[in-house]
Amino acid sequence: MHPTVTRVTERIIRRSRDSRQDYLRRMDALGRQSPHRAALSCGNLAHGFAACQPGDKQTLKLMNQANVAMVSAYNDMLSAHQPYATFPDVIRQAAHGMGSVAQFAGGTPAMCDGVTQGQPGMELSLVSRDVIAMSTAVALSHNMFDAALLLGICDKIVPGLLIGALSFGYLPIVLVPAGPMPSGLPNKEKQRIRQLYAEGRVGREELLEAESQSYHSPGTCTFYGTANSNQLLVEVMGLHLPGAAFVNPGTPLREALTRAATEQVIRLSRPNGGDLGLAHMVSEKSIVNALVALLATGGSTNHTLHWVAIARAAGIHIDWDDYSELSRATPLLTRIYPNGDADVNHFHQAGGTPLLIRELLDAGLLHEDVDTVVGRGLRAYIQGPVLENGKLRWRPAATASADSSVLRPVSAAFAAEGGLTVVEGNLGRGIIKTSAVAPEHQVVEAPARVFDDQSQLAEAFERGELNSDFVAVVRWQGPVANGMPELHKLTPYLGSLQDHGYRVALVTDGRMSGASGKVPAAIHVYPEAARGGPLSRVRDGDMIRVDATGGQLSIALSEDELASREPAVPDLTGNQSGLGRELFSWFRHGASEAEKGATLFFRDHND
């Protein structure tokens, strides 16, 4: 094993010892009470299978066959989740083929960050992760189940499903992906037209046409943002079938994988002799594997929040120093938009996740000794699914990348490091992803231009006021202020200024999309402005240094000068209501700081 991976893993194990042991003790005790259906009264049970067919009722009475819960984030709004409309019938049929039953236990919400990007609804995006976790728990709390399948893909949905399911970690649980839409207008061309529109050089009709050609059919958007980072990380954690992440929806292979996931989770269930649940599969080592995979692929910065919260749900404590230390030891092996021109279909065709796993395992950067949904050992994931005469088979991964512009071996990495760094100083602590930032832009020192929301920056750009070197400070964007939205709409403006030769950077207590990239952005900065953090004291003209190579985030003021300033007082009344935001003030008051996952859960926030 690479010494850094060993050192960080051991540190996480030590830091998590008490909470991890407590979590596993609770899960193992619950596991010994299986089948939980047996603890239900006749009335409970009758309600639980009242709507079932007679054969299923008989099966559920007997207790010796598995009842599989489906928890699904299906809706027609997310192109990525629309394919799930047909999955429950495929799953039920596969369960019957195993003499078992599958029940749709509950649905969860699923927000499309693409629809809400730049809109007030985006202020509900992060909290929707915790709502999804709670919805997952409500679904599984019927206690009728011996196993579960989680149907979800996008940004907050996989994290929310996992956080909720980990409260039922005594159950075997398999995630069921649906896959990316076929490639449309290349993401880089879409971004070029967006910048032309931002500069007033093309009209709305041309922009809408380009966007519609890029996002054109059912399936996950093809950029390597948070959704596709979810898929890759879950595969590297061994929580869905090998090579399942990026098979396109609506294909015979995708349907065969859904059936196979159902059959596999039934095999893992206690009525069929299984004894391992999700709790043992989400371990310190599999969490480290996820972080290494995130870093090796330039994955979404959102996972410096979500994977902290997922780990915490399994009694495991990770922090941003773990990410940045692993980043320094993890080579960048992929170039997928926004870190390059290719999309996830090209990555999959070049060899995809199975080949990436082999490279990282052989380099000692992944733990092989982990429990997965297909058994012990991650080497089982160095294979991909194919249909041969209608039969689903797994074939060994390619021995070399089919496209070295997208996926490379460790021996010829795109960069020696993963490019995720902690930045800190007298402006607070945040993170910066440099895998999509050109080396000449990784240190920016310039006067501050302060904005209280992203629309103010857009308006200043359109008035031609930003044609200079500057550091945009966009504050009041943290969980307490307005729910911590993504500020991805800033990308075309800042990207255009960078392309015109200005040295620009962003500093914010908010988030960026996983699909943001080329402008250096210190994000998730805390203490957030609305909690009295230093960003509340920054004024236009202050010299600010964003240094991704040195890990520095500072303002050229002495401690006394900064402390002597009165913090700005924002008007956040507009963020307290509208589009349901009035229902989520509990999140704005209770969310933990970014490095603790910006979540409501785990009351010992400060542990």
Ligand X SMILES: O=C(O)[C@H](O)[C@@H](O)[C@H](O)[C@H](O)COP(=O)(O)O
Q: Shortest distance, CB of residue 453 to ligand SF4, whole angstroms?
A: 21
The answer to whether 179 touches 154, Cβ cutoff 8 Å, is no
- Binding-site member from 66, 91, 131, 227 for ligand X (CB under 6 A): 227
The answer to whether 319 touches 171, Cβ cutoff 8 Å, is no
State how far the alpha carbon of 411 is from the alpha carbons of 230, 297, 569, in Å: 26, 15, 52
> Which 208-237 positions form the footprint of ligand SF4 (CB under 6 A)?
220-221, 225, 227
Half-sphere exposure of 7 (CA within 13 A, CB side): 9
- Binding partner at 78 among ligand X, ligand SF4, none, C-beta below 5 to 8 Å by kind: ligand SF4
> Which 54-93 positions form the footprint of ligand SF4 (CB under 6 A)?
78-80
Collect all residues with Cβ–Cβ distance below 8 Å to 17 and sequence separation of at least 6. Answer: none
Q: Shortest distance, CB of residue 190 to ligand X, whole angstroms?
A: 7
- Binding partner at 371 among ligand SF4, ligand X, none, C-beta below 5 to 8 Å by kind: none
Q: Shortest distance, CB of residue 547 to ligand X, whole angstroms?
A: 25
The secondary structure of the chain in percent helix, strand, coil, rounded to multiples of 5, reads 45, 15, 40
Q: Which amino acid is at 33?
A: Q
- Contact between 155 and ligand X by CB under 6 A: the answer reads yes
Cα 257 from Cα 253, distance rounded (Å): 6
Cα 77 from Cα 86, distance rounded (Å): 15
Q: Which stretch binds ligand X (CB under 6 A): 1-9, 39-47, 224-232, 431-439?
A: 224-232
Total binding residues toward ligand SF4, as defined by CB under 6 A: 12
Cα 265 from Cα 263, distance rounded (Å): 6
Looking at beta carbons, which residue is closest to ligand X?
225
- Contact between 282 and ligand SF4 by CB under 6 A: the answer reads no
- Binding partner at 552 among ligand SF4, ligand X, none, C-beta below 5 to 8 Å by kind: none
Tokens of 161: 């499903």
DSSP code, position 383: E
Q: Is 154 annotated as a binding residue?
A: yes
Cα 555 from Cα 462, distance rounded (Å): 27
Cα 130 from Cα 163, distance rounded (Å): 8
In degrees, to the nearest 5, what angle opens at C-alpha 380 toward C-alphas 246 and 80? 20
> Which 155-184 positions form the footprint of ligand SF4 (CB under 6 A)?
155
The answer to whether 525 touches 429, Cβ cutoff 8 Å, is yes
- Contact between 142 and ligand X by CB under 6 A: the answer reads no
Tell me if residue 4 falls in helix, strand or coil: helix
Q: What are phi and psi of 444, to 5 degrees?
A: -130, 125
Q: Which amino acid is at 323?
A: Y
Total binding residues toward ligand X, as defined by CB under 6 A: 14
> Which 299-328 positions form the footprint of ligand X (CB under 6 A)?
300, 302
- Binding partner at 406 among ligand X, ligand SF4, none, C-beta below 5 to 8 Å by kind: none
> Which 93-132 positions form the footprint of ligand X (CB under 6 A)?
113-114, 117
Cβ atoms within 10 Å of 542's Cβ, excluding its own: 20
Greatest distance between any 2 Cα atoms in the chain: 76
164 vs 299, which CB is nearer to ligand X?
Answer: 299
Q: Shortest distance, CB of residue 126 to ligand X, whole angstroms?
A: 11
Q: Shortest distance, CB of residue 196 to ligand X, whole angstroms?
A: 15
Q: Is 112 annotated as a binding residue?
A: no
- Binding-site member from 31, 36, 65, 113 for ligand SF4 (CB under 6 A): 113
- Binding-site member from 48, 160, 219, 225 for ligand X (CB under 6 A): 225
Instruction: Report the interface residues with ligand SF4, using CB under 6 A.
Output: 78-80, 112-114, 154-155, 220-221, 225, 227
Please give the annotated binding residues for [4Fe-4S] cluster, written as ranges.
154, 221
Q: Using CB under 6 A as the criterion, which residues of the chain lie in contact with ligand X when the complex forms? A: 113-114, 117, 155, 225-227, 300, 302, 486, 488, 513-515
Annotated binding site: 154, 221
